[in-house]
Structure 1
Amino acid sequence: MARDEHGVPLRIVGAHMDITPHRRAEEALRQSEARFRALTELSSDWYWELDEHHRFMHFEGYSDTEIGLPKEDNIGLTRWDLGALNMTDAQWARHRATLDAHEVFHDLELQRLDTHGNIYWVSISGAPIFDKEGRFGGYRGIGRSITERKRVEDEIERLAFYDALTGLPNRRLLLDRLTGALDRCRERTQRGALLFIDLDNFKDLNDTMGHDVGDSLLERVANRIVSCARPGDTVARLGGDEFVVMLEGLPHADDEATQAVSAVARHVLEALNHPYLLEGYQHHSTPSVGIAFFDGDIESVDDLLKRADLAMYQAKAAGRNTICFFQPEMQEAVTARSALEADLRSAIGNHELLLFFQPVVNEQSRLTGAEVLLRWQHPVRGMVMPGEFIPLAEQTGLILPVGNWVLETACEQLVRWGAQPATRELTLAVNVSARQFRQVDFVATVLGVLERTGARPDRLKIELTESLLLSDVEDIIGKMTALKAHGVGFSLDDFGTGYSSLSYLKRLPLDQLKIDQSFVRDVLTDPNDAAIVRTILALAESLDLAVVAEGVETAGQLDFLRRSGCRAFQGYYFSRPAPVEAMMAGIGAAGGVVPAMAG
């Protein structure tokens, strides 16, 4: 500044500069910081910084109450100082190596406890900080709570791998663990065993008491099985009332392994035999237990489960509430059964099924009709008898197409007989299984066959077994009455060997009773059998029913039956079952049957 001699300023010399951009930058920085702070406060994420020694030195947006660790407790500590429940020393070492290498890391998941002892999860991501000269200055990054996500993931896993009712591993998780167990057996030559547990008659409880009570029983069964298992064993629920226990680390010696597994199985059997209090009453439930050993030689998990399942069914066949070990013969039997089933499915189409006929004769040994008996001419096995394949047909449902074929073929034979004066009055008896008779459309099926073939209904006789009377008698009577209205006759087969109820017998629209051959066989030597035969004959007479005695093999049996009032007979004494041509060839000119085993 310049002044005159009196000190008055003459002029001012100075400089000025425009700081508008600087002020704008400062304001922009301030607004940016404000936005960052606002976002971190609103976000569930938080910002953190580490120094060059990987120690915490700054947080933004960190929630004290949400995580449970106050800020001051973290400043100056490393992440591994804080620790994590899910991190091992080796995992922390790998993380430190990442930081020492100044590398970016993403989504490091840490499980910790808050101040209240509750588990929480966080996910951490970070990047190194360098100054303009490239010197390392620490790390910065973000963290977020993933506790809810982990909870959802755990729930998804629970639903995917655990049974919702019992909380036990489900079939999916069991298969995974079995796969691992088999792999360990191959690698370490270990040995294990599988217990397959099925509750006996569980369906009865569900049907009578309801599914809620059934579910309650399953929960308690699960708890009892778990209490019987050893530490490290897997107890799983396959579904329904089926449970599995997987045991590993068994002794290599057969007797020691068997002893160890038997101890667990007996413990399970004993525990499940104790009564359960359900809906205020005591319920008794028993299990059938199948056991299969496994080692490195078994091929697959499916094979192992099949073996244990086969052993369990063998336990049921042995009377239930017992333990059965898998034996190779079981698999052989199942394989043979499967092959037989496959062949039976194609037997009809391949014209392998045959009808044999056994004559029914009167007192003068004159032919009055016949019973049709099924045979299977297998291309490899030869002649297969009904006892070998009928039970299989019943179990698989093949009895329905097989039974319909028998009915249709028999009616076609009636048509052929009806065309000849000498045979037009002959009857044919056809055995119908309980399963076939219980079909809703059984009446319509029979009437359809009669209409389609043109057979006389009054020449057809349907033979039923007493086992049919065990359920829904009203339905049975209704179907019989409907067919009787069209002329079809009915015979009760093997009378006296099954469910004989006089109250039902008098209501059934029957035409005939057949005395079972087991009574006829010893009628000359067993007074009880003789008395039973006489009683059946007297009962039939009082009910106005005809009687056929089956299994007549000797002249003495025939004579006794005649003297006792029987008027119709069937058995080897007259003829063995044979194709219709052979049966008819044995009939004399007068329609009589020459005894095949006379004397």
Structure 2
Amino acid sequence: MPNKPTEMEQRPKLHTETGDRPAGPPSHSVEELLNELRAHQIELEMQNEELQRIRAALETAHNRYLDLYEFAPVGYLTLAPDGRIVELNLTAARLFGLERNNLLNCQLATLVAHQDSDRWRLLLKSALRHEGELKNFELLLKRGDSHFHAHLDCLPVMTEDKTPALRITLTDISKNVYAEEQLRLAAVAFEAQEGIMITDADKVILQVNRAFTDITGYRADELIGRTPHILNSGRHNETFYAEMWNCINRTGSWQGEIWDRRKNGEIYPKWLTINAVKNSEGVITHYVGLHTDISERKASEEEIKQLAYYDPLTSLPNRRLLLDRLQQALAASSRSEKYGALLFIDLDNFKSLNDNLGHDMGDILLQQVAKRLIACVREGDTVSRQGGDEFIIMLEDLSENTEEATAKAKTIGEKILISLNQSFQLSNHEYKSTPSIGITLYIDHQHTINTLLKRADTAMYGAKAAGRNTLRFFDQDMQETVTARASLEADLRFALEKNQLKLYFQRQARHDGLTIGAEVLLRWEHPERGFISPLEFIPLAEESGLIESIGRWVLEAACAKLKLWQDHAHTRHLQLAVNISARQFHHIGFIEQICTLLDKAAIDANRLKLEFTESLVFDNIYDTLTKMQRLKELGVGFSLDDFGSGYSSLTYLTQLPFDQLKIDQSFVRNIGIKPADTVVVQTIIGMANNLGMDIIAEGVETEQQRAFLKRHGCHAYQGNLLGKAMPLEEFERFLEI
């Protein structure tokens, strides 16, 4: 097999091996050379077109890159190591709200919000130390006069000239931050103390917050998937709920007070607000309910109402609520043309109970009285407490006929009398109480409320004047009595200064006829009406408060007379007994008043004797005991007047420094006539002797009475048998002064 020629053997030989020039002309013709040149030219042209195409493509790509860079959705920054901006795109400039030329070579630190400036300096140093490591963080940056939240991705690099730089991608995340804040706020709001329930359009519960579960007592999993009907209290009818949902569907919301039921069955009030949530097409997709438990607020409102309109001791309506109801009752009476009635009830001798057993016992009595009064009236009637021991009952719809209305009011009044006359159990004390009841009818607006109350009050005083423990209806005679009483009170106010009040003296003597003194009695000589009985004007003076000034005048006159009498041998031993009223005695300055009078008159104190009634003594036993002891130290004497007619406690009587008991004239008058009264007289005399007290009988009219008293140990008397009450001049003539 012949050998394959080598590459050198195959290459055309241009010269001889000996180096001689070719023997003939070139092997290619001119035409071929031209063709080759033409082909080469075509190839160059094609290459030039490709270069042009590539150049155009590169330019297009470059422009596209510039567009992507300049108008990217994020900002691009390049910072020098000192924090200067050396390069940035248009987006970055827009984020800062400035022209690019105004930002180049500007320190980025000047664009950082004040609260983040220190943090930015630390972040810049940290980022530049870690070449090639991407750092990201958030900053609050400036945009004109406002700020925006930005996310920064920072990459430290080396530039072509080996200079370190920081490439930053800047993203405005303000909307994201705001959305996160809103979500946080929504989350906080959802878990606020106000209960929240979210349902779908079919009112199926989708979600509740913790406050809602706390309010209702249900767990969330017990509510989700069910309807709000689970909370229905049963206090609202279908009409209520239908109107509520009609309002929501019509207006988009509803709010109001509603009663719901907790899981434990408790019914409670809440304030409910329901809002409908609609989509972009206006279709309701959800309902959101805000539930506020207002139990405490309602309880506070009820407490305030209770304090404003009800008596705290008895829980009865007070005067304010009574007046409001009475106004409504008058309007109702005008429509129905039916009579109503007011019953004014006052407890007899209530003050004595407070003073003897204490105010706690008085409070218990008032509470028990309130319960009995409620039991005596109809359901629609009003029982109110006006204060102290005064109650007013308002009866409505009695009758169109006056006589029938009067009869019905009287029946209820008598029922009250029977009920309140039953014994009361006050702790360990059994107590008897009686009422005085005044009644007046009303219809339409014939009389004002104040007039009606005054008439009921007047009728009540009429019941007291009739002996208490009874009832009286208001009539015109009562009104005339009240008018006359008011006129008399006005005249009494001027009686002292016009010298109309006179002192009378009634002799007190021993069984042997020796005068031992006199009782000072007050008389009023009216310029028009003549002498007015003390039984008429003394109670009036007590009620009006005039008794204090009148009582002081009587004491001054008595002390002045004792001063004059001490200059005569046969009168210097005489005592004057002065009646002291309860109001006068319990006045805070009474002791000082007596001391001043005794010092001014410069008389022996034991010649002045103060006479007390049993009611005065036991009205306030502790004040009585204290004052009597102080006066006793001065030498003042004491006499217990009308003994036997009241309810004296022998225990207290032995503690009080009385010198004398005065037998009431009602017993003396019946000596030898009523055996029981005769025995009472004997008993009083025996008790006084055993207690070491003097005893005097008043109202002695006959020799038989005096003889009986002397025989049984009573040796001092007062009465017409010894001398009637007489003016000072006549009394002194009798004494032969």
Asked if 2 retains the 8 angstrom alpha-carbon contact of 1:110 and 1:121, the reply is yes
Q: CA deviation at 1:412?
A: 3.2
Q: Which residue of 1 aligns with 2:723?
A: 570
1:570 maps to amino acid: G
Question: CA separation of 1:319/1:71 partners in 2, compared to 1, >3 Å: closer, same or farther?
Answer: farther
CA distance in 2, matches of 1:86, 1:321: 50
- Aligned runs of 1:379-458 on 2, under 5 Å? 379-396=527-544, 398-415=546-563, 427=574, 429-433=576-580, 435=582, 445-446=593-594, 448-454=596-602
Asked if 1 retains the 8 angstrom alpha-carbon contact of 2:423 and 2:432, the reply is yes
Match of 2:635 among 467, 480, 483: 483
Query: Are residues 1:109 and 2:256 paired?
Result: yes
Asked if 2 retains the 8 angstrom alpha-carbon contact of 1:40 and 1:47, the reply is no
Q: CA deviation at 1:197?
A: 3.8
Q: CA deviation at 1:31?
A: 0.9
CA distance in 1, matches of 2:269, 2:481: 56
CA distance in 2, matches of 1:18, 1:168: 82
Query: Are residues 1:504 and 2:688 paired?
Result: yes
- Aligned runs of 1:9-20 on 2, under 5 Å? 16=68, 18-20=72-74
Question: CA separation of 1:341/1:368 partners in 2, compared to 1, >3 Å: closer, same or farther?
Answer: same
Residues 91-110 of structure 1: per-residue CA shift (max 9 Å, x gap): 9869967985x6x98x9322
Residues 155-208 of structure 1: per-residue CA shift (max 9 Å, x gap): 322232233444333333222212222233345544212233445555666667
CA distance in 2, matches of 1:162, 1:455: 56
Segment of structure 1 superposing worse, 310-319 or 83-92: 83-92
Q: CA deviation at 1:249?
A: 1.7
1:191 maps to amino acid: Y
Q: CA deviation at 1:392?
A: 3.0
Q: Which residue of 2 aligns with 1:535?
A: 708
Q: CA deviation at 1:253?
A: 0.4
Match of 2:271 among 114, 119, 122: 122
Question: CA separation of 1:432/1:293 partners in 2, compared to 1, >3 Å: closer, same or farther?
Answer: same
Unaligned runs of 5+ in 1: 524-529, 553-568, 594-599
Residues 100-153 of structure 1: per-residue CA shift (max 9 Å, x gap): 5x6x98x9322122354513211438799898xxx9777998734041322322
Asked if 2 retains the 8 angstrom alpha-carbon contact of 1:352 and 1:376, the reply is yes
Q: Secondary structure at the match of 1:156?
A: helix
CA distance in 2, matches of 1:538, 1:171: 59
Asked if 2 retains the 8 angstrom alpha-carbon contact of 1:236 and 1:244, the reply is yes
Query: Are residues 1:176 and 2:321 paired?
Result: no
1:19 maps to amino acid: P
CA distance in 2, matches of 1:444, 1:324: 43
Asked if 1 retains the 8 angstrom alpha-carbon contact of 2:248 and 2:276, the reply is no
Query: Are residues 1:35 and 2:184 paired?
Result: yes
Question: CA separation of 1:180/1:45 partners in 2, compared to 1, >3 Å: closer, same or farther?
Answer: same
Q: CA deviation at 1:40?
A: 2.0
Asked if 2 retains the 8 angstrom alpha-carbon contact of 1:358 and 1:372, the reply is yes
Question: CA separation of 1:150/1:344 partners in 2, compared to 1, >3 Å: closer, same or farther?
Answer: same
Q: Which has the larger radius of gyration?
A: 2
Q: Which residue of 2 aligns with 1:250?
A: 398
CA distance in 2, matches of 1:155, 1:324: 37
Asked if 2 retains the 8 angstrom alpha-carbon contact of 1:213 and 1:279, the reply is yes
Asked if 2 retains the 8 angstrom alpha-carbon contact of 1:358 and 1:370, the reply is yes
Q: TM-score, normalised by structure 1?
A: 0.67
Q: CA deviation at 1:534?
A: 0.9
Question: CA separation of 1:413/1:24 partners in 2, compared to 1, >3 Å: closer, same or farther?
Answer: same
Residues 439-477 of structure 1: per-residue CA shift (max 9 Å, x gap): 78767655543432355768x564747758976798868
Q: TM-score, normalised by structure 2?
A: 0.57
Match of 1:550 among 719, 722, 727: 719
2:188 maps to amino acid: L
Asked if 1 retains the 8 angstrom alpha-carbon contact of 2:345 and 2:391, the reply is yes
Q: CA deviation at 1:430?
A: 4.4
Q: CA deviation at 1:220?
A: 4.6
1:37 maps to amino acid: A
Q: CA deviation at 1:254?
A: 1.4
Q: Which residue of 2 aligns with 1:563?
A: none
Q: Which residue of 1 aligns with 2:501?
A: 353
Q: Which residue of 2 aligns with 1:238?
A: 386
1:38 maps to amino acid: A
2:173 maps to amino acid: R
Question: CA separation of 1:129/1:341 partners in 2, compared to 1, >3 Å: closer, same or farther?
Answer: farther
What is the RMSD of the two structures over their aligned residues, measured on CA atoms? 5.4
Query: Are residues 1:302 and 2:450 paired?
Result: yes
1:121 maps to amino acid: K
CA distance in 1, matches of 2:589, 2:452: 41
CA distance in 2, matches of 1:83, 1:537: 85
2:492 maps to amino acid: L
CA distance in 1, matches of 2:595, 2:314: 51
Question: CA separation of 1:224/1:95 partners in 2, compared to 1, >3 Å: closer, same or farther?
Answer: farther
Q: Which residue of 2 aligns with 1:559?
A: none
Question: CA separation of 1:255/1:209 partners in 2, compared to 1, >3 Å: closer, same or farther?
Answer: same
2:185 maps to amino acid: F
Asked if 1 retains the 8 angstrom alpha-carbon contact of 2:698 and 2:717, the reply is no
Q: Secondary structure at the match of 1:376?
A: strand
Q: Which residue of 2 aligns with 1:564?
A: none
Q: Which residue of 2 aligns with 1:376?
A: 524
Q: CA deviation at 1:405?
A: 1.4
Q: Which residue of 2 aligns with 1:597?
A: none
Segment of structure 1 superposing worse, 61-70 or 331-340: 61-70
2:706 maps to amino acid: V
Q: Which residue of 2 aligns with 1:520?
A: 701
Total equivalences in the alignment:
532
Asked if 2 retains the 8 angstrom alpha-carbon contact of 1:494 and 1:516, the reply is yes
Asked if 2 retains the 8 angstrom alpha-carbon contact of 1:443 and 1:482, the reply is no
Asked if 2 retains the 8 angstrom alpha-carbon contact of 1:194 and 1:244, the reply is yes
- Aligned runs of 1:35-434 on 2, under 5 Å? 35-45=184-194, 64-65=212-213, 66-67=215-216, 70=223, 100=250, 108-114=255-261, 116=263, 117=265, 118-124=267-273, 143-147=290-294, 148-186=296-334, 189-199=337-347, 215=363, 218-272=366-420, 279=427, 287-318=435-466, 320-356=468-504, 372-396=520-544, 398-415=546-563, 427=574, 429-433=576-580
CA distance in 1, matches of 2:323, 2:274: 36
Asked if 1 retains the 8 angstrom alpha-carbon contact of 2:701 and 2:720, the reply is yes
Asked if 2 retains the 8 angstrom alpha-carbon contact of 1:464 and 1:493, the reply is no
CA distance in 2, matches of 1:357, 1:169: 52
Q: CA deviation at 1:516?
A: 3.5
Residues 559-589 of structure 1: per-residue CA shift (max 9 Å, x gap): xxxxxxxxxx423xxxx73462x666x67xx
Residues 374-397 of structure 1: per-residue CA shift (max 9 Å, x gap): 322435544434332223334555
CA distance in 2, matches of 1:186, 1:41: 56
Residues 202-236 of structure 1: per-residue CA shift (max 9 Å, x gap): 56666676666655554454444334432322233
Q: CA deviation at 1:41?
A: 2.0
CA distance in 1, matches of 2:510, 2:197: 107
CA distance in 2, matches of 1:396, 1:266: 31
Unaligned runs of 5+ in 2: 1-49, 75-94, 96-170, 638-658, 668-680
